[in-house]
Structure 1
Amino acid sequence: SSLSGNKDSIYSLAMNQMGTVIVSGSTEKVLRVWDPRTCAKLMKLKGHTDNVKALLLNRDGTQCLSGSSDGTIRLWSLGQQRCIATYRVHDEGVWALQVNEAFTHVYSGGRDRKIYCTDLRNPDIRVLICEEKAPVLKMELDRSADPPPALWVATTKSSVNKWTLKGIHNFRASGDYDNDCTNPIPPLCTQPDQVIKGGASIIQCHILNDKRHILTKDTNNNVAYWDVLKACKVEDLGKVDFEEEIKKRFKMVYVPNWFSVDLKTGMLTITLDESDCFAAWVSAKDAGFSSPDGSDPKLNLGGLLLQALLEYWPRTHINPMDEEENEINHVNGEQENRIQKGNGYFQVPPHTPVIFGEAGGRTLFR
């Protein structure tokens, strides 16, 4: 079954524990509500002025919390089909929400890097739990006890932090909370209780003019040297001057562009577009390859890479329908075994992920 109705990209989704209500948020700036049992569209809730990035439902599906890039948190009554409260806690977009079991306190984080706990019954009572070093993308409450003892936080950096909530209830009881934005109080926590460290992500890259090698720099300022053609890292150069390495590896050669690079995942993502992936031709000698017959043929870089990547592509199996077809398949199989796999010059690492997709981004094969 499918739930239709959204016109733009969906950025948030929530379902209550009983499985009676599903809510979606998108760049339409509205909340759409369905009954997943019948796939019926129940309502559309308007109020946000920007992308809806986070959603939460209470147990029985009567109330919904939403966080938006417009910087607000809204509490909705699904029975009344309207917004019943708006919380302006953050200076910038709200990207992540968590709520306690009783649905009385909301934990929020987002672009401003601050994580607050707000009393839904009294919005003036809010506590600044901590301030992360990067925008907050996702949060998870430790529900091993009630009230929750800790909060796990993921940001745009690669580490995951655990922040204690043990002192937050004394904080509320004492009345020492942030109800005056002109005189903000310090955060409850200054250091996380626990850190799960992630790998360094690549933040800068430069395609060398041989259109085969790339220099990258990561969040730890380490520089690395990559070979796109062989889909592998050649060398870790350490903490060296990035610009100097680019100058050092400059070659007096012209090769057309045949691939593009993306760093959104924190790793090198190479894209081959059908319009230009076969544009670059070099001699085997210039590419560092030798031919068995001693010749120096022209090689297509995009073609070589595709042949190497497809060397590991799984074979298609066809079940023969009859004896005649079985004989044909047997002959074809012998011919296939004689076909050389790969490109005959090099292999790429077998774990290299390969995705075939359309120009719009839709994945066809993986």
Structure 2
Amino acid sequence: MQQAPPDAHERFLGSMLGGALGDALGFAVEFHSMDKIRERHGAAGLTEPAPAQEKAEISDDTQMMLFTLEGLIRAHVARRMKPVDNDPVPEVQHAYQRWLHTQGRSWAESAGPYAVHLAEPDGWLITERGLFATRAPGNTCMTALIGFARTHRQASQDNAINDSKGCGGVMRAAPVAVWSHDPAEVFHAAVGVAALTHGHPSGYLSAGVLAVIVHQLIRAVPLPDAVRLARDLLLRWRGHEEQLRSLDAAVELAAEGIVAPERLEERLGGGWVGEEALAIGLYAALAAPDVRDALRLSVNHSGDSDSTGMVCGNIVGALHGDRALPPEWLDVLELREVVTALSQDALVEFSPAPPTNATWSTRYPAW
């Protein structure tokens, strides 16, 4: 008997776990040239997660994805308390300051304006000690968050603090898919979240495109149609031209099927910047029908393999649901339980009847 297609919950969980899987797969070869990858792993490149001490380690990409999702949950709790508040960006900023604290900085150094309310960071996610590992955090993200802690100035696309289009904005954007039923609102929220640290249009518009693609896939929209809608929304934004060219290039390359890493890099770049990371991850999801092959394709190149793996995993996980993710890869995924618990909590919070008890308010404080 044919199995029923995955439902929206399975697709969202698949997107979060798939992103973490792609991140972990790529983190093992981040900063490695393709020649070095082949030398270490064989002609086919890296084909399985590379465990470090029995676990496939995640990078800062998954850490920031988790804090993004936690911030969105807390923003939704706040919106329930005060329905006129429909902007999740301040709560996500707060979440990122908690992430900054995990990266070897005291809360006093990290909190900025939030120190007025809290002597220590709150909520359950910050109690997960596994998140305190330092995994090559991006300099742009660190600098932007340190700057916010010092100046209390929240950045936006209209109030940029830099001209960076690094991939640190797009790699953490997929959770924003849960924020609204309206894809235009999702695009806008993802742009706002990415612009907290990245001021170039390609640094934040790439985040909007990814969040909308995931948003549509969760609703069982075919991937090509999801890309077309995201493209249409992209055209409404000032400074979209570079991101548009890269998005179209990914779709065009996918029509060629699976290509050599050298061809991928020549056509789409290395993934170090937002539009390239999105292009490589999307290309792999479009070109390879199998989840394993897509993830492998997304990380075997000379560029930013963990971020391109993250983007691809977010997409294929939403496309196929968590049931399609390789179980033996999930078995060794670091912080799998945390990703799963937070994702399931998000589905509960964004359900028609979210919790209202004191335990939930302690788990996800809103103020």
Q: TM-score, structure 1 length as denominator?
A: 0.23
Higher relative contact order by CA 8 Å / sep ≥ 6: 1 or 2? 2
Q: Which protein shows a greater Rg?
A: 1
Greater percentage in strand:
1
Q: TM-score, structure 2 length as denominator?
A: 0.23
Greater percentage in helix:
2
